[in-house]
Amino acid sequence: MKRILALVFFITLIWACSSDNGGEVPPADGGTDEPKEEPQEVSFERAPMLVNWADNIIIPAYTDFDSELENLTAAFENFNIDATTTNLIALREAWLTAYTKWQRISMFEIGPAESADFRFSMNTYPTDTDKINAHISSGSYDLTLSSNRASKGFPALDYLINGLGDSDEAIISKYTAPDKEALLTYTQAVLTDMNALTDQVVSDWQGSYRDTFVANDGASATASVDRFVNDYIFYFEKFLRAGKMGIPLGVFSGSPLPQNVEAFHEGEIANMLFLEGLQATQDFFNGKHYASTATGESLASYLDNLNTVKDGEDLKAVINNQLNKAREMVTSLDAFRTEIETNAPPTDMLLAYDEVQRIVPLLKVDMVSAMSISIDFVDADGD
């Protein structure tokens, strides 16, 4: 009898369990038993991005800069022949145009530019006016030496056409004095050095280096993308953020250094040069063709391909939004030199700097992490 009751109980229990589950065994993970989608492997072809960088951004920007440098040289030749106020103003305008174009290529410190020490040779500031004057007086100098970085390039020209006197008449008097030849010869030597360096870099890019750059499309520390992304971030952090804003503000020294603003002797254009550099970095991030509204494969499209988000937002949008915010803050400022020299502390400029600084971790941490790129330079400024 006990065996019969036990059998009935066992059959009843099985029937109850089958009824509760619709006759189906529940999935082991407690979820539904619907087929799961397999994770989609994310891939991004780096070669088309390198082609876009080389053919639509880097080489056209270098070529345009080369042309503007030729125009600057021609403007000086006119001034050399006839040192008038009109020709001095024309020389300054050509200098400013070329200097603005320089902001578009300064970030490209890879390959030929790296070999030529291009950035430091063209734009080391503050310029060493004592060394410049000594070179002019002695007539003996070699501008190809690294020890002369601070006595040549755009900052040296800033001194030579804006800083030799308090007025246009005072500056022109230097170029018309009996000993003018030494000054004219030195100014010509600075331009000759700038042209030689630029011709070398442009020629290499238009020659074999372009193909070498594009062909190196792998994913390693020595591949073109990894190296260029490092150089791009290094430029933004050290030369745009720190060099153009942080150092003159005294962020790293504890006290303002207005003499360290870019184009110190002109005095009014440091903001414009900064904003041009900022726009150049944003255009490059978005793959915008040089002097065009067209775009191609880029760091932004790379992040899109990876579906990268930060705090629930699209990382590409986060980066662009922060770049835009930084631009708005800097645009609202007076001239950098004026901000620093007339405000103690220069609060508005410091607040703008903070917005620029917020871009650094977005690029240096979030973006490179998504792309599995390692940072290859050492950060020594405590930010």
- Reported as a single tens digit per residue, the pLDDT across 66-92 is 999 999 999 999 999 999 999 999 999
- Is 229 within 8 Å of 371 (Cβ atoms)? yes
What torsion do the CA atoms of 63, 67, 70, 74 make, to the nearest 10 degrees?
Answer: 180
Provide the 3-class DSSP secondary structure of residue 288: strand
Bond into 345 cis (ω within 30): yes
pLDDT digits (tens, 9 = 90+) for 31-67: 344 444 444 445 799 999 999 999 999 999 999 999 9
CA-CA distance, 332 to 216, in Å (whole number)? 42
> Mean of the per-residue pLDDT values for the chain?
91
CA-CA distance, 21 to 215, in Å (whole number)? 60
CA-CA distance, 370 to 47, in Å (whole number)? 18
Q: Note if the pTM is more than 0.85.
A: yes
Query: Crossing angle, helix 129-138 and helix 180-204, to 10 degrees?
Result: 110
How long, in residues, is the chain? 383
pLDDT score at 381: 56
Whether 286 has a pLDDT exceeding 60, the answer reads yes
Whether 25 has a pLDDT exceeding 50, the answer reads no
- Within 82-127, where are the H helices? 85-105, 112-115, 118-122
CA-CA distance, 50 to 302, in Å (whole number)? 12
pLDDT score at 95: 99
Contact partners, residue 59, CB within 8 Å, separation at least 6: 202, 205, 206, 210
CA-only gyration radius of the chain, Å: 30
- Tokens 């029937």 locate to 15
At 378, is the pLDDT very low, low, confident or very high (cuts 50, 70, 90)? confident
pLDDT score at 235: 98
CA-CA distance, 30 to 32, in Å (whole number)? 7
**Considering only CA atoms, which of 267, 272, 258 is closest in space to residue 342?**
258
pLDDT score at 43: 73
Q: What is the mean pLDDT of residues 231-235?
A: 98
pLDDT digits (tens, 9 = 90+) for 292-310: 999 999 999 999 999 999 9
Q: What is the mean pLDDT of residues 269-274?
A: 98
Torsion sign (Cα): 309, 234, 230, 327: positive
CA-CA distance, 75 to 67, in Å (whole number)? 13
